[in-house]
Each structure stands twice: as C-alpha cells, then as structure tokens.
Amino acid sequence: MLNRTFDQHINLAVTGLSRSGKTAFITSLVNQLINEGNGSKLSFFDPVHQGSFIAAKRVAQKNLSIPRFDYDRAITSLTSEPPTWPEPTHGISELRLAIRYQPKSSLLKYAADMATLTLDITDYPGEWLLDLPMLKQTYEQWSKQMHNLLTAAPRDKYAKGFLAKVATIDPFAIADEELLAELAKEYTELLHTFRYTLGLSVIQPGRFILPAELAGAPILEFFPFPNLIDIDGNDYQNASDDSFIGMLRARFIEYKEQVVKKFYRQHFLRFDRQIVLADCLTPLNACSDNSGPESFADLQLAIDMILESYSYGKSGLFTRLFSPKIDKLLFAATKADHVTSEQHAPMVSLLNQLIYSSKHKLNFEAIEMKTLAIAAVKSTNSGKSVHKGQQVSVIQGFREKHKSKASATSPSAEKQVIGEQTSRDEITRDESVREKITLFPGSVPEKLPETAFWQQSAFNFINFAPMSGMDKHQALPHIRMDQVLQFLLADKML
C-alpha cells in the first residue's frame, strides 16, 4: 500500500496468444534488468542512460497461491548448447522484481538517496483471455457466434463432420453423458486444428486447448449447439436440466461462473500497465494455403476481444490504491528479427491497422499508447548479399530440420534463400540438425493485404532457433527491449 501511495509499484500484464513470444519476452525483460552492466545495451532506457539505475533482482512474490514464472528454466534453455526456445507456459504465473534506482527529479530525492520500484509481472495463456467476452453472452448467443465461425472459411471444411453429428441430436431427449463427452472431445480436437494447424486466433473456450488443472473435468465437456435458432424459445427455456440442451446450457453457465468469472476477479482488477504481443508474420505465411485473409481477420477479432476485458483510464492516487486502471498500453509486433531492418516500420504500420478500431476506442480514455516492432531474444544477424547482380538485405540464422531432410530445401524456401550453409554434424539434437541459412524473407505490407496479394505467395518467414553462445549472466541480444522498458517503467523512476 505504501509503495502504491508513492507510485512505486507496477502490475504489468503481459498479453498475447500462444506462439506470440510471451515466455521469451518475460525472460528477456528480467534478464536485461538484472544483468544491466554485464553487456547490456539499454541506451534508450533513461534510468540507464542518465546513470540513475542501480540494480535489479528477483524477490519473493506476494501471491503465494500462483505458480512462479520459471525464469531459471527459461534462461537455461536459451543458453544451453544447443540452445532451444523455452517451453511456453500452460497456466498463469507471476514474477516480482525489485528495481533499485537513484531518484533525481521526483519528491523521493528529498527523502532518500535510493528508491525501489516493485514490478509484478503476470503471464497467462492468451487463449484464456478469449473466454472473457463469454461473460456477457447467453448460451444461445455463444452458440450462434460459434456456428457462424464454424460454417465460414477456413473452419467450415474441418467442422462439417462435427456439425453433422450434432444436428442428429434431439435437444430435448435425456442426455447421454458418454455422447456429450465424445462430442466435446471432437470439438476440442477441432479447436486444436484451428489454432495449431490453421494458425487461427479466436478459440473458444480457450481452456479446452490449455486446460491446466481442469484437464478431464466435466465442466469442459460442452460445445455449441448450432441449431438453437430453429428451436422454440419457450421450449428452450423450459428444457429440463437432464436433457441434452439443458445439460449443455448448465455446463456453459457453470464454466462462466466457476472458471471465467473466477479468473477475471482474481487477476484482472489490479493491472497498471499492459503489453500486447502480436505475431503478424504467421498470418502472412498463410498465403500458401489461401487462408491469409481469414487468419488476419481472426487475429484482428481476437485482439479486439482481449482488449475489451481490461479496465483503462488515467491513474491517480485513489485509482492506484483502490481501483487500478491501465494507463499505458504497448502493442508489440514480435519476431522483428525474422525480417530485415527496413521491414520494421511496415510491421508497425501493419499492426496499427490491425488494432485500429480498439486503439480508436481507447484514445477516448486518454491513456498513453505506443506500437513497436521488437525481438525479445534476437536470433538472427542482418547484412547484405549479392543476388542476381544486385545487393539485397538479408538475415542469417539457424533453423532446425529433421535429420533425414537436413540436406533438402523446400521449394518455397528455394525462391528466397540467397545463400545456404548446411552441416549435418554441426549441431545435432535428437532427430534434428541445426542448419545455417541466409535469406531475404520478403517485404511486409504496410497495410492489410488485399485479395490479389495473397495469390503471390511472397513470404517465407522461418521460425529460427536461438543463437549459440548466449550467457545467462549477460544480457541477451534483443531488438528494442530498451524502448519497451522506457515506455513501461521510466516514468516511475524519475
């Protein structure tokens, strides 16, 4: 309470869908602060640039019922040989930092030579956030929304079998729990396909694909009933609890009350700052199967749904103490190291287009917002190469390939690989080999692509492996993490 009174405490929400890089981001943010001075390059972070930053360390978190973010495991993955990306988190976790600095312009400089800013970082699966809009919906409304998604491209061709099975059910018949469990499992498998095969973002319920401690619980055994629009409203309202439709409705309501609402009350009423991580490159890659427009529309809808769930506004003494509101919001286009440096500005422009409607609404609350292209852990080097007599910008890094395919290059990659160096014996782990490649991945569009664009198949964005030779006791290589720290923390360290 004392820290919040003197504005020396920040609750930071790290938001993003899976594969957007939340775990790597938190690991890098902590690493940059605790290793400042050991190879750290935070030239755009004023407390470091002006010499007021003293040190930072991890300290015990306040909430003992929430798992601690496993920084040690994550940094070990990145600095081992061969290095690997840390395992993504599958549930909520927290980490607390104490940042010591010398106040130079605030009133604190008259009270002490040193001050401490407490930073609480909260990480949770982005898929869980997509459940929050369900709090405002009835089962009928949710079923209608999901039906619209399931019958539209690209989900429709995968969902036909499931929808056909549900259509054969008499909604007022006595429920068969085994059949309900079987169909819920099939619906869950569809959600996995939508997220991890098609790369779509709107997945509801999100706990179905990241259940954490609820794995196997009956509260996760429900699904949308697409034919509710054809059912008489009175009959629906009077359906018995042991009927198919009555049981589905009851489990939906229980899920909202016991899972979604509980999660919201425990974790969403205390944030001061927020960063939203977005991977804009994966949807661009989707042009190869003509699902690019749908992937972008889905990402845009997911971001809008996530932002609706937070409380935004100017922060004063009363709100800091009793009703915290987010007064700074940073949008970050991740994986900036997967494109050449001149493509960073188009990445920012593209993300701004994706979040335009949400950003326009939030401007009304007069909160401070910023958009950056970042790489929390830089995995490539940039340079120049000569291709067909012309000098082009390229990036170079390692990717992992299956051992039996290590000498082959895919047809799509051949179009844009400028130079390739491969050694089967260079670094071998399990059944994979690290392959060093140099390529120009393509130009990022500055605005949402039009239909003709998707037919060009212009992209070859590769998921690079981490660089070798990183040291856990030194700062990790990054792109613009100093600007992230400047925006989120610097005003509290004056």
| 371 and 387 together in one domain | no
- Please tell me the distance from the alpha carbon of residue 332 to that of residue 29, in angstroms, as a whole number: 14
Highest mean pLDDT of the ranges 22-31, 100-109, 428-437: 22-31
pLDDT attached to residue 312: 62
Q: Which of 210, 243, 263 is the last residue before a domain boundary? A: 263
**Are 79 and 471 a contacting pair, CB within 8 Å?**
yes
Quote the mean pLDDT of the chain: 83
Q: Which residue has the higher pLDDT, 243 or 7?
A: 243
What is this structure's pTM? 0.85
The answer, yes or no, to whether residue 431 has pLDDT greater than 60, is no
pLDDT attached to residue 318: 38
Nearest Cα neighbor of 69 from 19, 12, 115 is: 12
**Residue 136 phi, psi (nearest 5):** -95, 5
| 344 and 488 together in one domain | yes
- Please tell me the distance from the alpha carbon of residue 424 to that of residue 151, in angstroms, as a whole number: 46
pLDDT attached to residue 256: 94
The answer, yes or no, to whether residue 483 has pLDDT greater than 70, is yes
Please give the residue range of the domain that contains residue 204. 136-263
What Cα–Cα distance (Å) separates residue 159 from each residue in 60, 156, 282? Answer: 46, 5, 22
Q: Which of 232, 263, 294 is the last residue before a domain boundary? A: 263
Q: What is the dihedral of CA 22, 41, 355, 202, to 10 degrees?
A: -10
pLDDT attached to residue 199: 81
Q: In whole angstroms, what separates CA 120 from the centre of its chain?
A: 18
pLDDT attached to residue 410: 38
pLDDT attached to residue 101: 93
For the stretch 27-38, pLDDT in tens is 999 999 999 877
pLDDT band at 432 (very low <50, low <70, confident <90, very high): low
pLDDT attached to residue 143: 93
| 143 and 97 together in one domain | no
- Please tell me the distance from the alpha carbon of residue 192 to that of residue 190, in angstroms, as a whole number: 5
Residue 346 lies in a domain: yes
For the stretch 124-170, pLDDT in tens is 777 888 898 898 899 999 999 999 999 998 899 999 999 999 999 99
Q: Give the mean model confidence (pLDDT) for residues 17-26.
A: 86
Reduced to 3 states, what is the DSSP secondary structure of residue 189? Answer: helix
pLDDT attached to residue 111: 59
Report the Cα–Cα distance between both ends of the chain, in Å, rounded: 20
| 224 and 288 together in one domain | no
The answer, yes or no, to whether residue 17 has pLDDT greater than 70, is yes
Q: Give the mean model confidence (pLDDT) for residues 217-240.
A: 85
pLDDT attached to residue 425: 35
The answer, yes or no, to whether residue 12 has pLDDT greater than 90, is yes
For the stretch 394-420, pLDDT in tens is 999 998 765 443 333 333 333 344 444
| 78 and 192 together in one domain | no
Q: Which of 233, 263, 293 is the last residue before a domain boundary? A: 263
| 259 and 279 together in one domain | no
Residue 242 lies in a domain: yes
Q: Give the mean model confidence (pLDDT) for residues 55-63.
A: 92
Residue 465 lies in a domain: no
The answer, yes or no, to whether residue 110 has pLDDT greater than 60, is no
Angle between helices 356-363 and 344-354 in degrees, nearest 10:
70
pLDDT attached to residue 336: 95
| 7 and 124 together in one domain | yes
Q: Which residue has the higher pLDDT, 52 or 91?
A: 52
| 99 and 167 together in one domain | no
pLDDT attached to residue 406: 36
Residue 466 lies in a domain: no
pLDDT band at 5 (very low <50, low <70, confident <90, very high): very low
- Please tell me the distance from the alpha carbon of residue 7 to that of residue 47, in angstroms, as a whole number: 16
Per cent of the chain over pLDDT 70 is 82
| 41 and 118 together in one domain | yes
CATH code, domain carrying 485: 3.40.50.300
The answer, yes or no, to whether residue 287 has pLDDT greater than 80, is no
| 115 and 231 together in one domain | no
Residue 463 lies in a domain: no
Nearest Cα neighbor of 144 from 229, 253, 246, 254 is: 229
Structural domains counted in the chain: 3
pLDDT band at 120 (very low <50, low <70, confident <90, very high): very high
Q: Which residue has the higher pLDDT, 397 or 356?
A: 397
Residue 395 lies in a domain: yes
Buried-exposed string 44-75: b where 16+ CB fall within 10 A, e elsewhere: bbbbbeeebbbebebeebeeeebeebbbeebb
| 249 and 272 together in one domain | no
Residue 148 lies in a domain: yes
Residue 468 lies in a domain: no
| 250 and 300 together in one domain | no
The answer, yes or no, to whether residue 317 has pLDDT greater than 70, is no
Handedness of CA 330, 331, 335, 340 (dihedral sign): negative
- Please tell me the distance from the alpha carbon of residue 66 to that of residue 88, in angstroms, as a whole number: 17
